[in-house]
């Protein structure tokens, strides 16, 4: 399982902490690998550990949801591939370069609205720890996460109507289109935007969207539970 795979990377750090007898150690040993696995499942970026021959040893919760059939990448058993034939060679070349030469790459797969960038990061091999692994981090398919927008809206006391306007602005919808969709006057939407700016301190719509775009992700507590990939 992932806990045993990731353990090889955190073992040196654990060894350095053996001399420390703090309250957390007096309360009993914890499994750092298990906690790290849970932590990665709370990160709203798809993350995979892959061998040089495209065998997936672990993927976090976000990655399991991302590889949903619409994503340019696909998982066949434990083998990572791509839906488009023209994406297969760049993907495999990047994995080979990472595992054999330690090179980092940014690979873009898919087309049009399904176009996604993937960060390919070689992980350093520890002596005697077996096959080197490569970390893949999947790029976002939307700029502003819905839960983050809603959490931000609550934190600055936006009304439900203002929250909806903020969501649409973050999706790139213009005020005139928001008004048309909501069946209200453009002046009403502009008043709501002014109120949002006053509550957030944003000097413009662009500044407002930038505030939301850099928010930390909020992963929903009510998620469809999917089993972790075993090796």
pLDDT at 33 over 80: no
Q: Binning pLDDT at 50, 70 and 90, where does residue 44 land?
A: confident
Helix, strand or coil for residue 43?
A: coil
Strand, coil or helix: 121: strand
**What local confidence, expressed as pLDDT, does residue 141 receive?**
66
Domains 2-138 and 146-213 alike in fold: no
pLDDT tens, 214-227? 777 665 544 544 44
Q: Residue 27's pLDDT band (boundaries 50, 70, 90)?
A: low
Tell me if 91 sits within 8 A of 73, measured CB to CB. Answer: yes
Domain ranges of the chain: 2-138, 146-213
What's the topology of domain 146-213? Arc Repressor Mutant, subunit A (1.10.10)
E strand or H helix at 154: helix 146-155
Residue (of 45, 29, 40) closest to 5 by Cα position: 40
Half-sphere exposure of 55 (CA within 13 A, CB side): 7
Mean pLDDT is lowest, of 67-71, 81-85, 224-228, for 224-228
Q: Are 118 and 136 in contact (CB under 8 A)?
A: yes
For residue 78 the two structure tokens come to 């434990």
Phi, psi angle pair for 140, to nearest 5°: -75, 150
From the options 2.130.10.10, 3.30.300.250, 3.30.930.10, 3.30.450.20, give the CATH code of 2-138: 3.30.450.20
How far is the C-alpha of 121 from the C-alpha of 178, rounded, in Å? 40
- Going through 112-204 in order, the beta strands assigned E by DSSP cover 116-122, 134-138
């Amino acid at each position: 399982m992932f806990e045993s795979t990731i353990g090889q990377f955190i073992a040196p750090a654990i060894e350095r902490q053996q001399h420390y007898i703090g309250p957390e150690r007096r309360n009993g040993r914890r499994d750092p690998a298990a906690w790290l696995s849970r932590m990665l499942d709370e990160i709203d970026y798809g993350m995979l550990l892959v061998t040089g021959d495209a065998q997936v040893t672990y993927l976090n919760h976000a990655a399991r949801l991302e590889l949903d059939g619409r994503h340019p990448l696909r998982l066949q058993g434990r083998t990572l591939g791509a839906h488009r034939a023209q994406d297969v060679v760049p993907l495999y070349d990047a994995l080979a370069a990472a595992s054999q030469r330690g090179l980092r790459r940014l690979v873009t797969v898919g087309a049009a609205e399904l176009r996604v960038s993937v960060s390919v990061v070689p992980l350093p091999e520890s002596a005697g720890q077996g096959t080197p692994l490569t970390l893949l981090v999947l790029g976002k398919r939307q700029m502003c996460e819905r839960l983050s927008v809603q959490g931000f809206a609550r934190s600055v006391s936006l009304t439900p109507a203002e929250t909806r306007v903020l969501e649409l602005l973050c999706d790139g919808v213009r005020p005139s289109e928001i008004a048309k969709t909501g069946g209200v006057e453009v002046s009403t939407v502009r008043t709501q935007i002014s109120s949002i700016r006053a509550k957030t301190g944003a000097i413009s719509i662009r500044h407002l969207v930038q505030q939301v775009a850099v928010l930390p992700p909020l992963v929903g507590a009510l998620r469809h539970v999917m089993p972790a990939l075993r090796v």
